[in-house]
Amino acid sequence: MKKVLITGAAGFLGSHLCDRFIKEGHFVIGMDNFITGDKKNLQHLKSNPNFEFIEHDVTQFVKIEGELDYILHFASPASPIDYLKIPIQTLKVGSLGTHNLLGLAKAKNARILIASTSEVYGDPLVHPQTEDYYGNVNTIGPRGVYDEAKRFQESITMAYHRFHGLETRIVRIFNTYGPRMRLNDGRVIPAFMGQALRGEDLTVFGDGSQTRSFCYVDDEVEGIYRLLLSDYNKPVNIGNPHEITIRYFAEEIIKLTGTKQKVIYKKLPIDDPMQRQPDISLAKKVLNWEPKIGREEGMKKTFEYFKSLSKKQLYKSEHKDFSNYINK
C-alpha cells in the first residue's frame, strides 16, 4: 500500500483520482480548501478506512505526518469563470502552492505529478499540439493568470527535477468531462447541458468554428495513473484527439437532450483559442495509452449525471447569463 497525497481532491478530476488510487489499494490523503471544490464529491469516501481528508490551502505551508510515496498536485481553479473571478488565487496556487508541494516531495523523497494543461499552448499556431510546441500565450490578457500559472508550474517542477534530482511527472490535460463537473463552472459541456435542461437557448461564442477535443474522465484518469508510474519526466499530453467544432457540438447536445432550443451567438471573448487538439503520439509510445470511451457514450453518461441533479441545483447559478463564458 502506497501513501498518496492528492491536492484539489474535492474537485472534478481530483475526486475521481481519489477513487482510482483507493481502488488500486493505496491510502489516499485528500486535500482541498473548497474554493472551487465540492464536499459532495468526497462524501462517498467519508467512512473509507483508506481515505483521510485535510482541509487546507496549499499556498500555505503543507505538513504531512509520516512517510509519503506520491503527490498529485491538482489544486487550482480550472474553468474560465473561476480563474477570471479569482485571478490572484489562481496565480498563487500555481506558484506558491507548487513550490510548497515540491518542497514536501523533496523532504519526503516522494514522486510528484503536476497537473498542467493544454492552456500552456495558448491560442496555438501549431495544430495539433505536440509537447515540443512552446505555445502562443498572451501573458497580460485575462486568461494569462491561468496560462502563466501553469507554465511557471512546469518550469519550477523541471528545476526541482534537474537541481534536486526529484522524481517529477507533468501531465498536460486537455478538455475533460464526466460526472461531478460543476453545472455552473462555465465550461462548454456543463454550460450546454445546463441550458438544455433549463429550457434555455444554447450560447455559442464567436461563429462556433473554434474546435475542442473532449476526453471522458475515466480515460483521463487512466492516462494520469500510467504517467505517474512511468519513468518519463517531461510533459505528456493526455486528451482525446477527436476534434469537433463548438457549433456542431451544440447541435449534438440538442439531439442528445431531446430539447428544441436554438443556438444563439455572442461575441467571442478575448484570447479564446480557435483550435484545441492534442497530439497523443508520445502518450501512445511511452504509456501505451489512448482513450477508449467515445464521445457518444461519454456524453450519455454525463447527461444522466446532470439530469439526476435537483431543480435547486439546476437553477442555482451565480453565472446564469454566462456573460463571461468562454468555450473551453
The set of catalytic residues is 146
- Among 212, 217, 231, CA closest to 288: 231
Distance of alpha carbon 116 from alpha carbon 173, whole angstroms: 6
Distance of alpha carbon 117 from alpha carbon 196, whole angstroms: 28
Task: Cell 503543507: give the residue.
Answer: 62
Three-state SS for 49?
A: coil
Per the DSSP assignment, residues forming a β-bridge with 161 are: none
Phi, psi (deg, nearest 5) at residue 31: -135, 135
Neighbours of 52 (CB within 10 A): 15
Distance of alpha carbon 250 from alpha carbon 229, whole angstroms: 37
Q: Which residue stretches of the chain are H helix?
A: 12-23, 80-85, 87-92, 98-108, 144-164, 188-197, 217-229, 246-257, 281-287, 295-307, 311-315
Per the DSSP assignment, residues forming a β-bridge with 4 are: 28, 70
> Cell triple for residue 169?
511527472
